[in-house]
Amino acid sequence: GGEGATLREVLRDPRVEHVTMVDVDKGLVELCEKYLPMMHQGSFHSSKVTLAFDHGANFLRRATSESFDVIIVDGIDFGDKDTASYGNELFAQQFYRDAFRVLRRGGTFEQYLSDVDRGDSVSLLLRAGFDDFQYMCVDIDSFFGAGACFALSTKTLAE
C-alpha cells in the first residue's frame, strides 16, 4: 500500500528487476515517505522502482498486454461505519479481466481482501481466465476485523 511496506517486501527478492507501484493517492504516499520510514525503509528510492499515481483499474486498463510477471493488489475501501466496502473497481469482473490480460503466461495475481468473505472472487477470477485460485486467511490482531484474507491465482504457461 501507500506506506511502502509491500514495495519493501517485494524488493527483498533478489530476482526482482523492476517494480511499478501504483497508488491512487500521491499525497498519502508522500506523507508516508516522510513520516513512516520504518515502514518503507527507503524502498521508494530504489532504482528498481517506478511510482505511478493513478487508480489501479485505470492503470491496468491502459497497460500493455503480457507486460507484468506479478500483480499484487493491496487496496481496500472502507465504508462510513468502519466496515469494509467492496463495491469498487478493484473487485469487479473487468478489473480481473484486465489483470489477466496484463500478466505474462506463468504470472501470478495476488489480492488483499481484508477479513470479508469474498467467495465470489473465485468465480470472477476463473471467468477472467485464471487457471486456479487459492483463498487464504490468517489471524492478525492488528488488522481491522482481526484477520486478513488473500486471493492468489495464476495464468497458465500454456496458450
134 forms beta bridges with: 152
Under DSSP, the state recorded for 3 is: T
Q: Name the burial class of residue 38, with classes exposed (0-12), middle (13-18) and buried (19+) by CB atoms within 10 angstroms of its CB.
A: exposed
Is 120 known to be catalytic? no
Alpha-helical regions (H) of the chain: 5-11, 26-35, 37-40, 56-62, 93-102, 120-128
Q: Which of 69, 74, 131, 141 is catalytic?
A: 74
Q: Name the burial class of residue 138, with classes exposed (0-12), middle (13-18) and buried (19+) by CB atoms within 10 angstroms of its CB.
A: exposed
**Three cell numbers written together for 63:** 497497460
Q: Which residues are annotated as catalytic?
A: 74
